């Protein structure tokens, strides 16, 4: 009896005390129990880590929440719809400016009068941005900054998307200018050859769009504002320098906007924001709303001014000069705001669809043994 009592005292059961602050891991508990029962047993490993690769985990998350890999269908449809609308608008604007008597009279009037009605502060600025090498250098610098940001963020698919977008913009600037006709309807002070679309405006707007799409969420609104201001200054400068007519600039902005939205419609995988970092952006909401509102109302107001002076355009009446030049400045700024507002908003929608996994990220993987 004494021996048995002594053994029971020495073999007393000792409970396992676990730190309440430490996360529970059933696999680790099982391994600890096996170690207590047999000192010679091997420590078990995590079967999830051993069996599934990182790609398989991502595919599993994509099945649980497809929006971790692609935007919402509604966002894709909106990008395609707005993109086609902008491209169709570019065709319509070009036709009105080239194939109508009022359109050619309006453009020639702005071409001859606009340099003389610029505000005092805008004249020197327009002269600076009318330097071709400066526009090319600034645009290339913006594109390089966008590329560096994408490389740092490891957005390889987005680099491919923007490369295709840039190639299409370059092609549009080169090909359309050489193939689009310009019929002779009235005697012109400007060069009667076709000059649409404006290559410098396409270059400036495309560089701004690349920057908006490349930077992270917190910088998108700022990039859109910078891109808008730069594209507007370049557009007004090439008109003031008599390189281009107003329709050339408006058409260029619409082409860039349409191609950008179609590019955003095919956002996929790491071209989007990372799951766990997708949140709404007050700056995008505020700046996007202001740009879209100003762009829409300004475009309508500019069109209203043209409608008011239309009876005098066919006669090249002197009283239409002020309205023609004012509408050119308003439409350039407004259409550019509409383009960058749409790109900003749709980039946010396609890059950060708000879902549970998008907000909080994937569940933490079990720790390796």
- Per the structure block, which two tokens stand in for 281? 């952006």
Task: Establish if 180 belongs to a structural domain.
Answer: yes
Provide the pLDDT for residue 17. 52
**Chain-centre distance of CA 37, in angstroms?**
61
Provide the pLDDT for residue 38. 42
- The per-residue pLDDT for range 111-139, each reduced to its tens digit, is 999 998 888 888 889 899 989 999 999 99
- Per the structure block, which two tokens stand in for 222? 């700022």
* Helix, strand, coil percentages, rounded to 5, for the chain: 75, 0, 25
Task: Establish if 58 belongs to a structural domain.
Answer: no
Evaluate the CA torsion angle 253, 254, 256, 260 in order and state its sign: positive
Would you place residue 25 in the very low, low, confident or very high pLDDT band (cuts 50, 70, 90)?
very low
Over the chain, what is the mean pLDDT?
Answer: 81
Task: Establish if 337 belongs to a structural domain.
Answer: yes
Task: Establish if 52 belongs to a structural domain.
Answer: no
CA–CA separation, 260 and 122 (whole Å):
29
Task: Establish if 285 belongs to a structural domain.
Answer: yes
User: CA torsion 210→213→218→224, rounded to 10°?
Assistant: 50
Would you place residue 221 in the very low, low, confident or very high pLDDT band (cuts 50, 70, 90)?
very high
Counting the structural domains of the chain, the total is 1
- Per the structure block, which two tokens stand in for 16? 């396992």
Question: What is the arithmetic mean of pLDDT over 62-87?
Answer: 80
Task: Establish if 106 belongs to a structural domain.
Answer: yes
Task: Establish if 322 belongs to a structural domain.
Answer: yes
The region that residue 216 occupies, defined by phi over 0 for left and psi between -120 and 50 for alpha, beta otherwise, is beta
Domain range enclosing 265:
70-357
CB 231 within 8 A of CB 206: no
- pTM score of the predicted model: 0.78
- The per-residue pLDDT for range 97-109, each reduced to its tens digit, is 999 999 999 999 9
Task: Establish if 366 belongs to a structural domain.
Answer: no
Say if residue 4's pLDDT is above 60.
Answer: no
CB 115 within 8 A of CB 240: yes
Question: What is the arithmetic mean of pLDDT over 355-361?
Answer: 47
Sequence-separated (6 or more) residues with CB below 8 Å from residue 59: none
**Chain-centre distance of CA 209, in angstroms?**
6
Would you place residue 269 in the very low, low, confident or very high pLDDT band (cuts 50, 70, 90)?
confident
């Amino acid at each position: 009896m004494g021996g048995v009592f002594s053994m029971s005292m020495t073999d007393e059961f000792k409970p396992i005390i676990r730190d309440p602050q430490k996360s529970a891991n059933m696999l680790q508990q099982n391994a600890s129990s096996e170690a207590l029962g047999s000192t010679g047993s091997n420590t078990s490993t995590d079967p999830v880590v051993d069996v599934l690769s990182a790609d398989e985990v991502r595919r599993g998350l994509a099945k649980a929440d497809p929006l971790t890999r692609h935007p919402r269908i509604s966002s894709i449809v909106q990008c395609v719809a707005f993109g086609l609308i902008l491209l169709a608008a570019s065709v319509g604007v070009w036709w009105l400016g080239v194939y109508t008597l009022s359109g050619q009279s309006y453009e020639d009037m702005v071409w001859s009068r606009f340099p003389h009605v610029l505000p005092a502060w805008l004249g020197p600025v327009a002269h600076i941005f009318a330097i071709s090498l400066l526009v090319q250098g600034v645009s290339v610098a913006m594109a390089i900054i966008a590329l560096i940001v994408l490389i740092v963020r490891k957005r390889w698919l987005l680099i491919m998307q923007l490369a295709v977008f840039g190639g299409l913009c370059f092609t549009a600037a080169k090909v359309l200018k050489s193939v689009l006709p310009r019929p002779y309807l009235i005697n012109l002070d400007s060069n009667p050859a076709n000059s649409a679309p404006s290559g410098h405006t396409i270059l400036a707007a495309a560089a701004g769009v690349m920057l908006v799409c490349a930077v992270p969420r917190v910088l998108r609104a700022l990039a859109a504002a910078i891109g808008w201001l730069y594209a507007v200054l370049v557009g007004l400068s090439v008109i003031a320098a008599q390189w281009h007519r107003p329709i050339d600039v408006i058409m260029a902005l619409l082409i860039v906007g349409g191609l950008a939205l179609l590019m955003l419609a095919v956002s996929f995988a790491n071209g989007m924001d990372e799951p766990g970092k997708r949140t709404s952006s007050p700056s995008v909401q505020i700046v996007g709303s202001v740009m879209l509102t100003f762009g829409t109302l300004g475009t309508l107001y500019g069109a209203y001014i043209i409608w008011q002076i239309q009876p005098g355009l066919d006669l090249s009446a002197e009283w239409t000069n002020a309205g023609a030049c004012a509408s050119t400045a308003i439409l350039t700024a407004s259409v550019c705001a509409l383009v960058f507002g749409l790109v900003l908003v749709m980039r946010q929608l396609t890059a950060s669809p708000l879902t549970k996994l998008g907000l909080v990220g994937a569940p933490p993987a079990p720790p390796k043994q």
